[in-house]
């Protein structure tokens, strides 16, 4: 009998999010990877696996090995991955399996792109809209905000949550981003400003939506912990129940709960054991729905917990202390990875001035498409 | 094209959907296999065109120049009486739970759905 190796989140880092004029996806990925190697105390030659996220501004057939050549890596295992916003969490889950299987000892997980400055805003919005069905949805002039707005309208109708409830999350994410020097949007906003911001797709206004950013993130999953606190990847789970919004069977059970249940079962932990949350937040509705379906708030109760301060950095369950996609920013795959990078930083006491009491156990969740692909991860600091 | 009977139907003023010949389940979108039983014998049927609204939004920020002249426009997801769900345009003011009937319009050379209230 051989023992299954443990996979550790050994190090992580990334670039600021915002404008990186003149820098392409590979440049940004290189910046993040260089810092993640330093954080992990590893040299290029130690990296034997590379997983890389797609970049809409560089739709290359072999992005992972293109990156390896440019960055000076010669891994024994490499490929790209495409799972929308869930790509980062799914790559971390796959890296964990590669380490547990004994295939790799140090897997670099990296993504980045110049989604803001590398293309026009219309081009970016058009590219993203193609997650809709090409014959049934996209031809209607739908966009990602429109898909999420449609979903929000049904969820709000079924649960009774309001625009004022959703606005709580926009304000909280911005307050967190103000404390992060690398965040894209750092001007404080009020609840009233969220409600009065420009309509995008009813019920969502501008401040319910994440910005489009440039940036990159990288993490190293390893067979051994590094120089920082040992953060074990204790559990993971996925669920993929539909691709298109029209085909979502039940807005109350989109797959997030199923992915979370697998992760908790694998980790042998319960929600009460968790003291940090990194939850995907492309829109305010995303955050409310995911918190409720994964069981960190009762149905229609996420905003009540936010108002009570539970999700604040000083609360019982700090949430996205970097500011999330809503305010730290969203540059595609790396946007979804930033939640895991921040969880690692807080657990490893590497969060600088915004350091909270170092969390012991973090729950990470990401969705891709329109709540289509779900990945949950559980991290545990072992000391 | 898998969805040609649907898109051709829009040009002819009829809503079409697939139904599984084995278990009878009506499919949302176009598929190669039944979502319920996995059988591959799916047949296209004409729908009555009557439906109930499940979700509604008003798009203020159109995603492209093609749709900017229409903005703000109402989009809905409806459930056809036969079971499948569809995305389409709707007349302003439509509400979740409302009964609607499918209508058709052409925009930029494409036939699209526009639902109107029955009451």
Contact B29 A133 (CB under 8 A): yes
Per-residue pLDDT, averaged over A297-312, amounts to 98
Instruction: Look at the block and give the residue holding tokens 């057939």.
Output: A61
Domain annotation covers residue A178: no
Nearest CA in chain B to A151: B55
Q: What pLDDT sits at residue A2?
A: 63
Of A141, A153, A246, the CB nearest to B28: A246
Work out the pLDDT band at A3, boundaries 50, 70, 90.
Answer: confident
**Domains in chain A: how many in total?**
1
Q: What pLDDT sits at residue A123?
A: 85
Q: How far apart are CA A124 and CA A141, in angstroms?
A: 15
Q: How far apart are CA B72 and CA B74, in angstroms?
A: 7
Q: What range defines the domain where residue A51 resides?
A: 8-118+213-222
Q: What pLDDT sits at residue B9?
A: 98
Contact A153 B55 (CB under 8 A): yes
Print burial letters for A334-351: b (CB count within 10 Å at least 16), e (below 16). bbbbbbbbbbbbbbbebb
Domain annotation covers residue A109: yes
- Measured in angstroms, the CA of B88 and the nearest CA of chain A are apart by 6
Domain annotation covers residue A315: no
Q: Residue A76 burial by CB count (10 A; 0-12/13-18/19+): exposed, middle or buried?
A: exposed
Which of B34, B44, B55 would you mutate first to test chain A, the one with the most A CBs within 10 A? B55
Q: What pLDDT sits at residue A115?
A: 94
Contact A154 B54 (CB under 8 A): yes
Q: What pLDDT sits at residue A129?
A: 83
Q: Is it the case that residue A122 has pLDDT exceeding 90?
A: no
Per-residue pLDDT, averaged over B49-54, amounts to 98
Domain annotation covers residue A114: yes
* Angle between helical axes of A284-293 and A256-267 (0-180°, round to 10): 50
Per-residue pLDDT, averaged over A251-278, amounts to 98
Q: What ipTM was reported for this prediction?
A: 0.98
* Angle between helical axes of A121-129 and A144-159 (0-180°, round to 10): 60
Domain annotation covers residue A90: yes
Tens digit of pLDDT for each residue in A157-210? 999 999 999 999 999 999 999 999 999 999 999 999 999 999 999 999 999 999
Contact A126 B7 (CB under 8 A): no
Contact A141 B64 (CB under 8 A): yes
Contact B55 A145 (CB under 8 A): no
We report the CATH number of the domain holding residue A62 as 3.40.47.10
Tens digit of pLDDT for each residue in A275-289? 999 999 999 999 999
Nearest CA in chain A to B4: A135
Q: How far apart are CA A206 and CA A155, in angstroms?
A: 19
Chains A–B, number of C-beta pairs less than 8 Å apart: 108
């Amino acid at each position: 009998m051989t023992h299954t190796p443990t996979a550790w989140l050994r190090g992580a880092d990334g670039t600021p999010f915002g404008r990186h004029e003149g820098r392409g996806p590979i440049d940004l990925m290189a910046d993040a990877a260089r810092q993640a190697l330093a954080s992990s105390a590893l040299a290029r030659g130690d990296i034997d696996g590379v997983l890389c996220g797609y970049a809409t501004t560089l739709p290359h057939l072999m992005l992972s090995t293109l990156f390896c050549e440019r960055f000076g890596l010669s891994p024994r295992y490499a490929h790209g991955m495409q799972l929308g916003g869930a790509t980062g969490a799914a790559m971390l889950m796959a890296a964990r399996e590669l380490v547990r299987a004994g295939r790799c000892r140090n897997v670099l997980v990296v993504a980045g792109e110049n989604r803001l400055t590398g293309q026009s805003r219309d081009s970016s919005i058009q590219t993203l809209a193609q997650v809709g069905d090409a014959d049934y949805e996209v031809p209607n002039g739908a966009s990602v905000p429109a898909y999420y707005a449609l979903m929000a309208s049904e969820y709000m109708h079924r649960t009774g949550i309001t625009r004022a409830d959703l606005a709580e999350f926009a304000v909280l994410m911005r307050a967190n981003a103000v404390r992060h020097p690398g965040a894209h949007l750092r001007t404080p906003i009020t609840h009233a400003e969220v409600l009065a911001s420009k309509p995008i797709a009813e019920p969502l206004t501008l401040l319910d939506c994440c910005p489009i950013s440039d940036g990159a993130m990288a993490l190293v999953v390893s067979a051994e912990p590094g120089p920082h606190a040992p953060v074990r990847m204790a559990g993971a789970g996925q669920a993929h129940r539909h691709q298109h919004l029209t085909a979502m069977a039940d807005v109350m059970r989109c797959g997030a709960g199923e992915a979370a249940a697998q992760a908790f079962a694998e980790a042998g932990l319960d929600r009460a054991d968790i003291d940090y949350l990194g939850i995907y937040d492309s829109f305010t509705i995303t955050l409310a729905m995911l918190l409720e379906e994964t069981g960190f708030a009762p149905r229609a109760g996420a905003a009540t917990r936010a108002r009570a301060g539970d999700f604040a950095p000083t609360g019982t369950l700090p949430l996205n202390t970097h500011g999330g996609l809503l305010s730290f920013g969203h540059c595609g795959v790396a946007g979804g990875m930033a939640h895991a990078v921040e969880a690692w930083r807080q657990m490893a006491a590497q969060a600088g001035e915004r350091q909270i009491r170092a969390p012991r156990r973090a729950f990470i969740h990401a969705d891709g498409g329109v709540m289509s692909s779900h990945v949950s991860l559980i991290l545990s600091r072992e000391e | 094209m898998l969805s040609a009977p649907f898109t051709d139907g829009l040009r002819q003023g009829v809503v079409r959907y697939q139904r599984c010949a084995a278990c009878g389940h009506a499919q949302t979108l176009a598929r190669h296999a039944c979502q319920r039983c996995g059988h591959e014998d799916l047949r296209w049927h004409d729908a009555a065109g009557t439906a109930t609204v499940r979700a509604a939004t008003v798009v203020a920020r159109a995603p492209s120049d093609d749709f900017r002249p229409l903005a703000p426009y109402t989009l809905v997801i409806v459930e056809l009486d036969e079971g499948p769900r569809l995305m389409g345009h709707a007349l302003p003011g439509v509400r979740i739970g409302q009964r609607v009937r499918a209508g058709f319009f052409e925009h930029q050379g494409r036939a699209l759905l526009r639902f109107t209230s029955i009451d």
